[in-house]
Amino acid sequence: MDNIKSYINQHKERFLNELIELLKIPSISADSAYKNDVFKTAEVVKVSLQKAGCDAVEVCETNGYPVVYGEKIIDSSLPTILVYGHYDVQPADPIDLWDSSPFEPIIKTTELHPEGAIFARGASDDKGQMYMHVKALEFMTVTNQLPCNVKFMIEGEEEVGSESLAAFVEDNKEKLKNDIILISDTGMIAMNTPSITTGLRGLSYVEVEVTGPNRDLHSGLYGGAVANPINILTKMIASLHDENNHITIPGFYDKVEELSLEERAEMAKAPFSLEDYKSALDIDSVYGETGYTTNERNSIRPTLDVNGIWGGYTGEGAKTVIASKAYAKISMRLVPHQDWGDITELFTNHFESIAPKGTKVKVTPHHGGQGYVTPTDSIGYQAASKAYNDTFGKTPIPQRSGGSIPIVALFEKELKSKTILMGFGLDSDAIHSPNEHFGVFNYLKGIETIPHFYKYFTELSK
Ligand code: BES
Ligand code: MN
Ligand code: MN
C-alpha cells in the first residue's frame, strides 16, 4: 500500500476529530432514554461511509435500532470483504468513577500511551475500532488503491444481543454475500505484541428471582422462621461452584472441547506476565478453576459469574427487613460445542431443583450466542498475519479471547463465511468500565494495517 503512512500523518488531526464527534453522541442501546441519540449515530455513520467512498449507503430499518449498510463494488469477479462493527455503546455508569465526562472525549497521555489516548465511552468498543475501517476505506478510495469489493454492516444493538441484526442477516443473505468477514471489536496482546483473535466464547445470560414470603417482613418478628430469599439466593449461587471452582450444574461440561496438551503448550508460548496482570488489577492472587492457567481460564474454559445481585434494603442507614424477593443476573461464558440453548436449559433445571422448600424460583433467559473459533491455515488468517507483519514488523500471535460477539457464529451459519478478528484494543482500554479509552497509536495503526489486509486477501484469493 503506497503512501499510507504519509496519508495518515497528513490527516491525523481530522481522523481524530471525526472520531471525537462520533463519540460525543451517547448511543447507549441498553437505555431507552438515549433512543434519539442511537438513531442519530446511525445517520452520522451513514454520512461517514458516503464520504469515505461507499456507493450505496442505507440506514436499514429493523424492529430495533437500524443497521447501516454500505458497499463499494468495483468488479464482481474480485473478492468481497464484509466489514462488521457496532455503533452502540455500553451505559457509562458508574458515572462518578470517570475522571472526565464519558461523552466529552478528551485526549490524554498516559504511561502506556505517550502519543495519547482518547477517553470516552465507546472509544475502543467499538466506535474507535469501527471507524478505523471507515478511514482505511477513505485512504483506499482517495488514492485509488481499493483492490477488491467491500461491504459495511454496522449495527446498533451489539451491546444488547444483536437481535435485530440476526433477523437482518437472515433476510438479506444475497445482499451480504461475501468472501470474508472482517471485524475490529477485540484486542491484541500488547502495544508491541500484535495478535489475531482466533476464538470468542459463547454466552448464556439469565436473570434469576427467588421469592420467599408474599411481602417484606420485620426481620425481628419473622427472622429465623421463614426462608430469607437473599440468604437462600446467595447460598444457591455459592453452590454453583465446588472447591475446585468447577461449575456444579449437571451436564455443564459434557460437550466442552478439551484442548490437547500440545495445543495448551502452544497457547502458553504467548507472552504473559502474571505479576503485571495482578498488579494492573491490584490483586495479590488470581483465582479460578484448578488445573488451568489464567490465560486458559479466561479463554478455553467455560465460566459462570454473577454480574449483579440485589434485593432488600440498600439505602442509607439500616432498615430491619426480610425482603420478599431477591434477584441476580448471571452470565455463563461458553466454549466451542457448548450450545447456549442447552446450557440455558441445564442451568434453569438445576437452579429450580436446588431451591429449598418455602421459596419459589424463576429463571428468565436474556440473550446468548454460540462461541467461535477460526482456523489459522485459511487465506484470511494468512492475509491478516502478513498485514500485521508489514505494519508492526512482527508476526502476530493467534490468541483465543474470553469475550463474546455472538453474531459471529450466526454469520458463519447464515452467510457461510469465516470471520477474521483484527482487534487493536488493549485489555487496559477499560471497555465497559469507567475511563474507557483507545490509544491514538492503536487507532492509527489500525487504519494503517487494514488496507494491507485488503491487498493480501485479494492477492491470496487469486
Ligand atoms: N467487543 C466486545 C467483545 C470483546 C471484547 C471480545 C474484547 C473480545 C475482546 C463486545 O462489544 C461485547 O462487549 N460483547 C458482550 C456480549 C454481548 C452479547 C453483550 C460481552 O462479551 O460481554
Ligand atoms: Mn464491541
Ligand atoms: Mn462491548
Q: What is the pLDDT of residues 29-43, one digit of tens each?
A: 999 999 999 999 999
Backbone φ, ψ for residue 211 (5° rounding) = -115, 135
Least confident residue range of 167-176, 259-268, 445-454:
259-268
Mean pLDDT to the nearest integer, 442-450? 98
Distance 184 CA to ligand 2 centre (A): 8
Nearest residue (by CA) to ligand 1, atom 19, is: 159
- Cβ-contact 187, 429 below 8 angstroms: yes
Neighbours of 388 (CB within 10 A): 22
Cα–Cα distance measured from residue 147 to residue 74, given in angstroms and rounded to the nearest whole number: 8
Ligand 1 close to Cβ of residue 188 (< 6 A): no
Confidence of residue 2 (pLDDT cuts 50, 70, 90): confident
Q: Is the pLDDT of residue 460 over 90?
A: yes
Ligand 1 close to Cβ of residue 157 (< 6 A): no
Which long-range contacts does 29-33 make (Cβ < 8 Å, 24+ apart)?
A: 29/65, 29/88, 29/89, 29/156, 29/157, 29/158, 29/159, 29/160, 30/90, 30/91, 30/159, 30/160, 31/91
pLDDT in tens, 383-425: 999 999 999 999 999 999 999 999 999 999 999 999 999 999 9
Cβ neighbors of 431 (< 8 A, separation 6 or more) are 90, 124, 125, 425
- Cβ-contact 164, 59 below 8 angstroms: no
Mean pLDDT to the nearest integer, 334-363? 97
Nearest residue (by CA) to ligand 1, atom 18, is: 161
Alpha-helix runs per DSSP H in 172-228:
none
Coil, helix or strand at residue 261: helix
pLDDT in tens, 257-311: 999 999 999 999 999 999 999 999 999 999 999 999 999 999 999 999 999 999 9
Q: Residue written as cell 477499560?
A: 430
Ligand 1 close to Cβ of residue 161 (< 6 A): yes
Ligand 1 close to Cβ of residue 186 (< 6 A): yes
Distance 24 CA to ligand 3 centre (A): 17
**How would you classify the pairing of strands 419-421 and 180-183?**
parallel
Q: Hey, which of 27, 404, 426, 428 would you mutate to test ligand 1's pocket, going by the most ligand atoms within 8 Å of its Cβ?
A: 404
- Cβ-contact 331, 355 below 8 angstroms: no
| pLDDT confidence of residue 1 | 80
Nearest residue (by CA) to ligand 1, atom 20, is: 404
Confidence of residue 358 (pLDDT cuts 50, 70, 90): very high
Ligand 1 close to Cβ of residue 37 (< 6 A): no
Distance 436 CA to ligand 3 centre (A): 11
The number of the ligand 1 atom at minimal distance from the alpha carbon of 432 is: 13
The residue type found at 262 is E
Ligand in closest contact with the CA of 404: 1
Distance 219 CA to ligand 3 centre (A): 40
Nearest residue (by CA) to ligand 1, atom 4, is: 403
Q: For residue 51, give the H/E element and its range.
A: helix 35-52
Q: Is the pLDDT of residue 91 over 90?
A: yes
Distance 328 CA to ligand 2 centre (A): 24
Distance 159 CA to ligand 2 centre (A): 7
| Angle of CA points 209, 211, 213, to nearest 5° | 165
Distance 116 CA to ligand 3 centre (A): 22
Give the whole-number percent of the chain exceeding pLDDT 90.
99
Mean pLDDT to the nearest integer, 438-461? 98
pLDDT in tens, 208-229: 999 999 999 999 999 999 999 9
Q: Is the pLDDT of residue 453 over 90?
A: yes
Coil, helix or strand at residue 185: coil
